[in-house]
């Protein structure tokens, strides 16, 4: 069975881009997730200024889950990630965990996007640039260049987060 994913559908809409007022395109991408069923990711995107607004439509049971993804090759950086507003993100190799923020709205990004965000946030997490800071920063930067493997773990009490790769390992968590 090669029909794991359906090809994305792109539609020109009459919705104006909030940034530059050009028409937005709606891209609908539907995919099957192990143990979760089918989900659809809808992205409004502007080809002019690259504005993007994504939402995910679920057909899941909403039960707590954990997704583990080992980043081992350059293609892994382009894997799509949907982090729901209630998701905890963890990188065990560097002992880092990102908790959901209070006004968090969820985010559709890539593995690379997540690593870049963490790399930027490190400066705020460390008051002083200690040896630990440089160790963690070095590890993330090396992973961004696909030089060393790193692991991404998402725990989500609402079961809505997605790591869009057949390599990702999905587990049910106790409620």
- For Zn ion, the binding residues (CB under 5 A) are 17, 19-20, 46, 48-49, 51
The phi, psi pair for 139, rounded to 5°, reads -65, -45
Task: Please give the angle made by the CA atoms of 156, 27 and 86, to the nearest 5 degrees.
Answer: 15
Residue 114 CB, nearest approach to Zn ion (Å): 24
Residue 43 beta carbon to Zn ion: minimum distance, rounded to whole angstroms: 13
Rank residues 17 and 118 by Cβ distance to Zn ion and give the closer one: 17
User: Which residue number, 19 or 125, has a Cβ lying nearer to Zn ion?
Assistant: 19
Residue with smaller CB distance to Zn ion, 51 or 133:
51
CB 14, min distance to Zn ion, A:
14
Helix (H, G, I), strand (E, B) or coil at 143: helix
Burial of 19-49, coded b for 16+ CB within 10 Å and e otherwise, reads eeeeebbebebbbebeebeebebbbbbbeee
């Amino acid at each position: 069975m090669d029909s794991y994913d359906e090809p994305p559908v792109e539609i020109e809409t009459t919705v104006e881009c909030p940034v530059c007022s050009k028409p937005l395109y709606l891209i609908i991408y539907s995919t099957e997730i192990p143990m979760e069923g089918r989900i659809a990711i809808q992205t409004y995107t502007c080809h002019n200024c690259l504005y993007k607004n994504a939402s995910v439509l679920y057909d899941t049971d909403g039960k707590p889950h954990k997704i583990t993804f080992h980043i081992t090759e350059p293609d892994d950086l382009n894997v799509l990630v949907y982090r729901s507003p209630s998701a905890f993100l963890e990188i065990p190799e560097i002992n880092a965990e990102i908790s959901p923020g209070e006004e968090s709205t969820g985010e559709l990004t890539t593995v690379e996007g997540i690593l870049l965000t963490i790399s930027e946030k490190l400066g705020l997490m460390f008051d002083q640039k200690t040896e630990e800071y440089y160790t963690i920063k070095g590890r993330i930067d090396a992973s961004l260049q696909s030089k060393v493997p790193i692991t991404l773990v998402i725990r989500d009490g609402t079961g809505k987060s997605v790591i869009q790769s057949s390599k990702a390992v999905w587990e049910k968590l106790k409620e």
